[in-house]
Amino acid sequence: MKYNVNMPQKHSKDWLLEFAGLFTVGAVAVISFVTIENNSTRWIALGLTLAFGALFLFHHSIRVHFYFALQTTLAVSLILLQPNTFAAGVLFFVLSAEAMTVLPLRQATLWISIFTVATYFNFAFVAGWLSALIYVLPYAGGFVFFGTFGKAMRDAEAARQESQRLLEELQTAHRQLQDYASQVEQLTIAEERNRLAREMHDAVGHRLTVTAVQLEGAQRLIPTDPDRAARMIGTMRDEVKLALAELRRTVATLRAPLEVDLPLTQSLARLATAFQEATGLNVHLTLPEDLSSVPEAGRLALYRAAQESLTNAQRHAGAKNIWLSLQTSDDNISLTVADDGIGFPASMNGVGFGLRGLRERATQLGGELHLESRPGGGAQLCFRLPLLVRR
C-alpha cells in the first residue's frame, strides 16, 4: 500500500483533533512541572514536553517513521523523568491516533505495539514484571481505541474525498450531457428546416416555376392566339391550385399541437380533421374515451408518429382511406395507422418511408415500431410505448 513518506499536511477541518492533542501535551507539561520536585529535572521535562508539542505542530517535512521514533523517544524520556506518575504515558494515546491517521494499518499497528511495550517496561520498572502485565492492559486498550478513532477519521476523509471526486465527475458528465443535448437539438432543428425547404422546393416550387414559364408563353400568345392563351391560363390556374393544396398538406401534417397541455386524443382529432380537409382523404379515427395521463415525451412521440404516418400514406401509398386508432392496455399504449394503398416492398424493411426517426424515438422511450402489410391490402404502422402512470 502506497503512502506519503513525509507526514501529511493537516486539513483546516482537523483543528479539533489538533487542539485535543495540544491540550493533552499542555496537561502533561503542567503535571510534570508541578509534580517534579527537582528544579533542573523540572525544566528538562518542560523542555521535552515543548519539543513534543513543537514536533506535533510542525512535522510536515519530517519522514513519518522518523517522526514517530522521535516522539516515542521524547515520551519515554519524560516517563523516565517521573516514573511514579506516568503522566507522560498519555502522550502515547495521541501518537496512537496519529499513527492510524497517517500510516497503513500494519505499520500503524506496529507502532501501537511499540507504545504498548514501552508502557509495559515503565510499569515493570516501577511495580515489577508481573504487576506490569495487569497495569498495561487498560493503556493498551486505550491505544487501540484512539487508534481506531484515528482510522475512522482517515476512512471518513477518504470517503469524503471520493464522494467529492465522484460529484465533480458527475457534474462534468452532466454538463457534457447538457451540451450534447443542446447540440442534438440544434442539429434536429437544422435538419427539420432543411427537410421543410426540400418539401417546399420539390412540391410548391416546381409547380410555381412551371406556372411562371407558362404565364410568359400565354402573355406572348394573347395577341396572336387568344384561345390557346386562355387554355394555358386555365392550366396555370390548376397548377396554382395544386401548389396551394400541396402547401396546405405540408402545413397540416407538420405543425405541432395548438396547445402544450392539450389532451392527446384531442390533438389527434384535430390533426386528423385538418389532414382530411387538406388532402381529401378519408381518415377513420378510433380513440379511447378515457385515456390515462401520458407523459409529455410519450404524448409528443405518439403525435409525431401520427403526423409521419399520415404524411407517408398520402405521399407514397396512393390510399383513399386511412384508419388511425389509439389503444391502451395495462402496461402500454399503441398507435396504429393503416391505409388501403399499394403497400410497400418487403425489401425496404420499413426504412424508405422516412420512419427511421420514429424508430429511434420509440427506442429512446423504451418502445417499439412495427411496419407491416395490412390484411386486405395497404400498409399498417404500429407505434407502441410503455404506459407510465403518474403516481
User: Running along the chain, 391 residues long, what does each successive block of 10 average in pLDDT?
Assistant: 50 62 77 73 80 78 83 82 72 85 87 87 79 83 84 84 89 84 78 68 65 79 84 80 73 54 80 78 85 72 84 75 87 88 60 66 86 82 75 37
pLDDT (0 to 100) of residue 83: 64
Tell me the one-letter amino acid at 199: E
The pLDDT value given to residue 42: 78
- In sequence order, the 6+-apart residues with CB closer than 8 A to the CB of 248 are 278
Q: CB of 317 within 8 A of CB of 309?
A: no
Task: Give the model's pLDDT for residue 183.
Answer: 82
Q: Pinpoint the alpha helices (H) of 103-224.
A: 105-127, 129-199, 206-221
Residue-level pLDDT at 14: 63
- What's the pLDDT score for residue 324? 92
Q: Are strands 332-339 and 321-328 parallel, antiparallel or unpaired?
A: antiparallel
Residue spans per domain, the chain: 1-254, 259-391
DSSP 222-245: TTT-HHHHHHHHHHHHHHHHHHHH
CATH number of the domain located at residue range(s) 259-391 in this protein: 3.30.565.10
Cβ-contact 304, 355 below 8 angstroms: no
